[in-house]
Amino acid sequence: MEKLKIKQAVLVEGKYDKIKLSSLLDTDIFTTNGFGIFSNAEKGTLFKKIANERGLIVLTDSDPAGFVIRNKLKGILPKDKVVNIYSPALSGKEPRKKQPSKAGILGVEGLDVKTLAQLFEKYGVTRSDDEQKDGFKPYMKADLYACGLCGKQTSKKMRKEFCERNGLPEMTPNALLEAINILQIRI
């Protein structure tokens, strides 16, 4: 199956959900690290920025934990920039697990790719062949170094100022590089 190229980024609960969706989608996929979103304000700020710039699709499991995470995200993210996709509550157990979840239903990682593709279609998420804006060329780590955003004594201070100017949370060089390329921010 050809991957579905979409403009919006996708937000899921964990790394296995991300791995599953990576086989279906050609876009940036982020994780909340389960309940980690509750203690990481910087991640929430980044997700809000991504939602405002590109749009964000939220797909959590249809179990009590998934609904708690989704409700937390509703308080952080701009409602008009988010598409909430709800996974079906199908009984079962993920192959990598020894026992079913407490709720006894499959999470995103347990759904087959066909079901996931139908979910995206049902919620109106369609293929996007948009090119990157204004011929944006992704940056490399060497570009951050050349601009002084990493590898120098003053880099941490410069990154903090750069992040503040661009409405980003303070980030490590690798996280900043990823954010710059996703949001297509020029350095």
In the chain, what are the domain boundaries? 4-122, 134-183
Provide the 10 A C-beta neighbour count for residue 176.
24
Q: What is the mean pLDDT of residues 168-182?
A: 85
8 Å CB contact between 89 and 62 = yes
- pLDDT score, position 131: 47
CA distance 50 to 87: 22
What are the tens digits of pLDDT across the range 59-112? 998 888 889 999 999 999 999 999 999 888 887 777 787 777 777 788 888 898
Report the pLDDT value the prediction gives residue 135, as an integer from 0 to 100: 66
Is the pLDDT at 172 greater than 70, yes or no?
A: yes
State the Cα torsion 62-65-71-76 to the nearest 10°: -120
Please report the pLDDT score of residue 184 as a whole number.
82
In this structure, CATH architecture of domain 4-122: 3-Layer(aba) Sandwich (3.40)
Q: How far apart are CA 118 and CA 86, in angstroms?
A: 12
Distance CA 177, CA 163 (A): 11
Token pair 């109106």 is at which residue? 124
Question: How confident is the model over 109-167, as pLDDT tens digits?
Answer: 889 899 998 888 888 776 665 544 556 778 888 889 999 999 999 999 999 999 888 88
